[in-house]
A and B are shown apart, each in its own frame.
Chain A
Amino acid sequence: MESRRQFLVRTAAGLAALQGGLFKATDVFADGGSAQMAIAKWSGKTDGATADQINQAAGKLVRQAVDALGGMKSFVKAGETIWVKPNIAWDRAPELAGNTNPRIVAEVVKMCLEAGAKTVKVGDNTCNPAQKTYVTSGIAAAAEKAGAQVVFVDKTRFKSTPINGKALKDIPVYPEMLECDGIVNVAILKHHGQSQMTMCMKNLMGMMDKRGLIHQDIPAGLADLNLYMQPKIRLHILDAVRILTAHGPTGGNPNDVALKWSVAAGTDPVAIDAWGAELAGYKPADIAFIPTCQERGVGRMDYRSLSPKEVAVS
């Protein structure tokens, strides 16, 4: 579902394009300051950067990317409760790129609070024991410091909900997540054995339980899950500062981590994932779930057609 603002902008653009046929819809986005996608790339010093300098750059990148979309105010209203959903799946330190960069999570929390959110909750259904991953990933401390309420996702509290999708007939969802007004999905770009890559769309698997089943048909499962979650999701963010190029999604070997110094944000997860696939050296059409999710109407894989705003950050 689109926000009212997006709907109005898109309708105006469409009408304008139909009536005059003189300018492209994307021009409206470009000028109006509320494009559907933004990509922030680091243009500052990269040689010999320390872990802390990389993390600081990550924080700046995500803020600039969201600002290019008109700021978090475009996605979060005053008084709302927002669930920020990072990847906190594995018991790995930030440098190993197994989880979303904690600085990015903290910056997103701050932006939500600045936009007037009443409460920002941060949590994920982890794969390794939560009491370890929350700490090792650095996310619990960073999010708490930024003002978020860190929530342990309790495996006994999932509730099965019928969704009648193609692959998934029902999914166990976490009520506390869905009771929030909106969700900001903050994924990291990683290699994945079965699906080749995991990015924004696959990150939503942390919102359900019994996710092992999805692996039997990842494209259809991800389409089902994303279509079901879409109305709740205000913004997708992809952390491509440190990416995991092999042995994902767990990683663990620093040699498998590559620095890409980029963050993408937007409302179309298919577009963002397609951009991420290219960044990692794949053709988006070769990552099976990307074309499938486009066919199922999750979004558009030709992210260039959205004329993403590119921001250079230093």
Chain B
Amino acid sequence: MTRRAASWSGTRIRRTVQVVVLLVFIALILAARFHSGVRPGPILKIFFLLDPLVTIATALAAHAFAAGAFLALITIAVTLLFGRVFCGWFCPFGTLHDIAGRLIDRFKPDKKLRHHFSPRQRIKYYVLAGFLAMAVFGGHWVTVFDPLVLSYRSFATGVLPAAQWAVEESTTPLAQSENKAIHAVSRYATEPAYAFVRDHVFVASRQAFLGGGLILAIFIGLLLLNAWRRRFWCRYVCPLGALLGVFSLRPLLRRAADRASCNECDLCARSCHGAAAGAAGDKWIASECLGCLNCSESCRRSGLGFVWASPLRNDPETAPLDLSRRALFASAAGGLVALAALRISPQSRGKVYEARLVRPPGSRAEREFLQRCTACGLCMKICVTGGLQPALTEAGLEGLWTPRLEPRIGACDYNCTLCGQVCPTEAIRPLTVEEKQKTKIGVAAFDVTRCIPYAYGRDCTVCEECCPIPEKAIYTTDDEVQVAGVRTTIKRPHVDPDKCIGCGACVNMCPLKDRPGIYVTSANESRHPDNQPFLTGY
């Protein structure tokens, strides 16, 4: 084989595609930020629209298709033709697994036989069965299991904030140094570079997400499992891989082996990404094959290749997956038990509302919100103030890492509607600016044991100053108070619940940064008529 031919080999092309798709995936995460005068395009959510697991789960749970969700048909069609090439060629999480596996092999050379099909690879189909059973009854726990969702969230709330931390923490001391030489380096080298990423990459200064460390740790942990089994996630856990596996039980493109030339060297199986065959490449299982082409390329005798075949033809080379019917039913039942476990909290029965669960404007009523939200993190990534944060306990286990507003970190910008415009499943409905400005996401209340004029008898009212409602949802009264024995008049602020939309600008600007003198709770939110405690029009 000539060098040139080698450079165009199937695996080389596949690796190139993988890297390009991964870079596009990351570029689209970086592009998810406020651009003046530009409506965010549907391209930002393209990976989720192409994801059939998200689409099917949302359709089953919420009986709804988001705009653009039909794109998932493309992925299904490709899978019917070529098998699980989505996993082997496109999935960014899969590519990261390949990269992690390669890096790990450098330090821990691979000697063990861990490349043959293991019956445990069937686990992911049982996970899928439980997952789908849950979805049929209205549960939508894509959050934890979808690889695209998992990757997006981990990048947006873990990897990128870590990178931003490194950039900001390294350049700030240089910029503030009194040393002339360091100052010069800063002025002409590090500051311009920093200013560029600040203005074109970062969303908000010192951006960070509550529990981002946990999300990052899980992400890294899953990648480290490559040290034990290559593509551990893809082989054993991934329900998206399982779903695509179902579509590729009888693919049109199949592996064909020339048994006569095989000397059982096992090279094909050892290089297999999906562990799709037994020893010496025997018993190829179509639904486990990621189409990586490593087998055909590694065969020294050119005894392996891929050929078109009718899906009706029974092929002695192709082995069945042999899922246990009993295990599938057990898994489905397990999914229902899990759903019950998620739903038997007073909060999810609608008996109480969680005060801290202030959802972004346009969010549907909580039940339907959870039936759509994947916790992908796109809304949190694009939030112009960085106030949208992943919920840890506020929305229960079912709402793990779904978005909530933490106004101490960032308020809901009065003129911004980005979160609803990018939500892939329309858990947050797209609003016009006029609609958004009338949508209540909560209501503010003063903590008079903290608020400076109430608790300490001094003027302040920064909350009133920055309230963005044109007629001000915070008003003041001139109250006579006695401070340290001296009578004086100060302004004390009050909230008008008719006007307040719960944006949290007041909380964000309160001089008390630990526990502000004003806070926002979910009461009065437009999405829940039962959570509106005030008569209106007063």
Chain A residues within 8 Å of B, Cβ to Cβ: 90-91, 127-129, 131-132, 135-136, 152, 154-157, 159, 175, 192-194, 212-213, 215-218, 247, 249-253, 256
Contact = CB atoms under 8 A, between A and B. Distances in A.
Given A127-B509, A193-B464, A215-B459, A154 B198 contact: yes
A194 B415 contact: no
6 contacts: A129-B34, A193-B464, A193-B465, A194-B461, A194-B464, A215-B462
Interface string B496-534: 000000000000011100000000000000000000000
A91, A129, A157, A256: which has the most chain B beta carbons within 10 Å? A129
Contacts of A218: 459
Contact of B461 (A90, A159, A215, A251): A215
Contacts of B205: 154-156
Contact of B470 (A132, A152, A256): A256
A252 B472 CA distance: 10
Given A194-B461, A217-B459, A132 B384 contact: yes
B314 interface: no
B176 A159 contact: yes
- Among all A-B residue pairs, the 8 with the closest Cβ atoms: A252-B470, A253-B470, A212-B511, A135-B36, A193-B464, A212-B462, A216-B458, A194-B461
A156 B470 contact: no
Given A128-B468, A216-B452, 10 more contacts: A132-B384, A135-B36, A159-B176, A193-B461, A193-B491, A194-B464, A212-B511, A215-B461, A217-B458, A250-B470
A312 B212 CA distance: 61
A131 B491 contact: no
Interface in B266-283: none
A193 B467 CA distance: 11
A91 B411 CA distance: 13
Contacts of A131: 34, 36, 199, 384
A247 B473 CA distance: 10
A250 B465 contact: yes
B447 interface: no
B414 interface: yes
B465 A132 contact: no
A216 B459 contact: yes
B509 A253 contact: no
Contacts of B199: 131, 152
Given A156-B206, A213-B511, A135 B459 contact: no
Interface string B17-43: 000000000000000001011000000
B36 A132 contact: yes
Contacts of A193: 461, 464-465, 472, 476, 491
Nearest to A155: B205
B437 to A, nearest CB: 9
A253 to B, nearest CB: 4
A175 B37 CA distance: 31
Nearest to A198: B465
Instruction: Give the size range of B's interface with the partner.
Output: 35 or more
B481 interface: no
Nearest to B470: A252
A20 B464 CA distance: 55
B163 to A, nearest CB: 15
B172 A157 contact: yes
B491 A135 contact: no
B460 interface: yes
B204 interface: yes
Interface string B459-488: 111101111111110001000000000000
A249 B468 CA distance: 10
Nearest to B414: A91
Contacts of B472: 193, 247, 250
B34 A132 contact: yes
Nearest to B35: A131
Interface in B380-426: 384-385, 413-416
A131, A217, A249: which has the most chain B beta carbons within 10 Å? A131
B354 interface: no
A159 B172 CA distance: 11
A216 to B, nearest CB: 5
Contact of B415 (A91, A216, A247): A91
Given A192-B465, A215-B462, A157 B176 contact: yes
Contacts of A154: 195, 198, 205
A4 to B, nearest CB: 30
B168 interface: yes
A154 B168 CA distance: 11
A194 B461 CA distance: 6
B342 interface: no
A135 B37 CA distance: 9
Contacts of B333: none
Contacts of B175: 157
A152 B468 CA distance: 22
A159 B466 CA distance: 24
A29 to B, nearest CB: 37
B456 to A, nearest CB: 9
Interface in B146-183: 168, 172, 175-176
A255 to B, nearest CB: 9
A193 B470 CA distance: 13
A135 B206 CA distance: 22
Contact of B467 (A132, A136, A194, A250): A250
Nearest to A255: B470
Given A216-B452, A252-B470, A194 B458 contact: no
Contacts of B168: 156
B409 to A, nearest CB: 13
Contact of B413 (A129, A155, A213, A249): A129
Contact of A216 (B413, B460, B468): B460
Nearest to B508: A127
Contacts of B466: 127, 250
A289 to B, nearest CB: 12
Nearest to A89: B466
A91 B413 contact: yes
A252 B195 CA distance: 31
Contacts of B176: 157, 159, 175
Nearest to B415: A91
A152 B458 CA distance: 33
Interface string B289-300: 000000000000
Contacts of B36: 131-132, 135
A194 B476 CA distance: 9
Contact of A194 (B37, B465, B509): B465
A14 B168 CA distance: 54
